[in-house]
Amino acid sequence: MNIDGARRKILLLTILICIVSGPAAAAKHTASTSEAAVETSKFGSLDDGTAIDLYTLKNAKGATAKIITYGATLTELWVPDRSGKLGDVVLGFDNLPGYMGKHPWFGATVGRVANRIAKGKFRLDGKEYSLEINDPPNNLHSGSKDLSRVVWKAEPVYERNGAAVRFTYNSPDGDEGFPGSLLVTVLYRLTNNNELQLEYTAKTDKATPVNLTNHSYFNLDGDKNILGEVLQLNAEKYTPVDATLIPTGEITPVKGTPLDFTHPVAIGAHIAEMKGDPGGYDHNFVLSAEAGKLKLAARVFDESSGRQMEVWTTEPGVQFYSGNFLDGTITGKRGVVYGKHSGFCLETQHFPNAVNQPAFPTVILRPHSVYSTQTIYKFSTR
């Protein structure tokens, strides 16, 4: 065979290899990108015509998280039970009007300062600031126009082991009564290990308090109340509160009280012993491990479905709320009426009213510093 013939043979062989391997390579690429996906759709519009987008995160195991740009709100979270059947484990609404109306922060990103501030006042660097009294006589979750009531910018984030979306909002100086322009980001990531990871960052141009959290109400077994779900908290102490649910400043052991969840206990086992206005649990628990390091804060197990949820966080505290004020006046997704104890919250956080309690871990963010926290909701079955 001459040299030209050999070259032609090599060329034909190369073309044949490309024809055979090309579609296979393309199919492989499609398979790898389809393991986790970010989808965007329209969820509705505000009265002024502003579009609200829905971001759907899907992982390789079929779990799904849905978040809207209104309030960077988690609207649905579908995870499997022990038989592999997917179920939505968070409370919420089917449509945008539900989230625009009055509701107890279902799934919302709350701030600038989550939880309560006594009498809606605090002093910072010699100046007093006054906030809205939306939970008389206190301020709760920064007011009725907090970060859960604004439209966030969003962008999908494509990652190897999951799907993610990053939300951004620039809260102007004086917003909600707080000083400083605050640039906030929240990253939602659904991993292929059925972890919903939340990463918060914030920067400011003036000293200001910051305490961000997610306010999802969980129910691991759908329509039943949560009193039979078994909770364990990695917290040997809590912050007692006064009659208006403001911490007294004390840090007290849970041992010997109905707030002792240091070992697995059904949520409803001792709830009748909780006297006073809450009619259940609405308390900040002091986490045992060092603040700033990711550690296990809580574990919840539902025997009926086999679902288990672990909460990991870098925060120093977690607010356990047993849905005491749900009263049957709200109809949520799929027509479900949310009565008392229809869901529970595990809000990772700095302590309530920390801005007025120097002994509590500080919530003050200053220029040239970065607020950065992480919380993970990890789902499994047994």
Active site residues: 215, 347
**Residues in a beta bridge with 331:** 337
Are the beta carbons of 174 and 129 closer than 8 angstroms? no
Rounded to an integer, what distance in angstroms lies between the CA atom of residue 218 and that of residue 93?
A: 14
Rounded to an integer, what distance in angstroms lies between the CA atom of residue 81 and that of residue 88?
A: 10
Instruction: Output the six-digit token pair for 47.
Output: 């009265």
Neighbours of 79 (CB within 10 A): 27
Give me the amino acid identity at 57.
L
Q: Which residues contact 142 (CB under 8 A, 6 or more apart)?
A: 110, 111, 112, 113, 114, 131, 132, 176, 178
Q: Within 13 Å and on the Cβ side, how many CA atoms surround 129?
A: 22
Rounded to an integer, what distance in angstroms lies between the CA atom of residue 249 and that of residue 32?
A: 52
In the chain, the largest separation of any two C-alpha atoms, in whole Å, equals: 98
Rounded to an integer, what distance in angstroms lies between the CA atom of residue 17 and that of residue 8?
A: 14
**Residues in a beta bridge with 301:** 230, 308
